Amino acid sequence: FSTTADGAASPTERFRISNNGSFSSVIPGGSTLYPSFDCRAWVNFNGTGTVAIRASGNVSSITDNGTGDYTVNFTTALADANYCVSSCYRNNVSAYNRMAPLSIKYAVAPTASALRVEGGYGDDNSALYNNQDLDYCCISVFR
């Protein structure tokens, strides 16, 4: 896909879809095509009491597995589980009031259809860590 700037004589390439279906774009002012790695799913939810999704994209539901332990269920499964997760939570329930990343649940492998995460608080000076229901959770999945 190309566009022509006002007053320009010829178009400039902006996007390209290759024969294998991959999508690339050109950063404004540049000439190099960069592959597009898109957010495949995202969710903002309240993890306290009855878990409630505030807003989401490609997330059908959140399963509450216990205190501070959640499964994010994708509406449309991804191609595989080789994705990158970015997350954060706000803990506004205890003395450990801060933003921190949610952790991918240990020993529960992510799948193409779901991701299990957990969060809570810990003493920065020791190995103590306790899951806690979280009032503000955000997760993005990129592939």
Q: Which residues of 55-85 are buried (b: 16+ CB within 10 A; e: fewer)?
A: ebebbeebeeeeebbbbbbbeeebeeeebeb
Note whether 26 and 33 are within 8 A (CB): yes
Residue 97 has pLDDT above 70, yes or no: no
Task: For Cα atoms 122, 72, 85, give the angle at the middle one, nearest 5 degrees.
Answer: 65
Q: What is the pLDDT of residues 47-92, one digit of tens each?
A: 988 999 999 999 999 999 998 899 999 999 999 999 999 888 876 6
Structure tokens at 117: 């995460």
Q: What is the pLDDT of residues 13-52, one digit of tens each?
A: 778 888 887 777 776 666 677 777 788 999 999 998 899 9
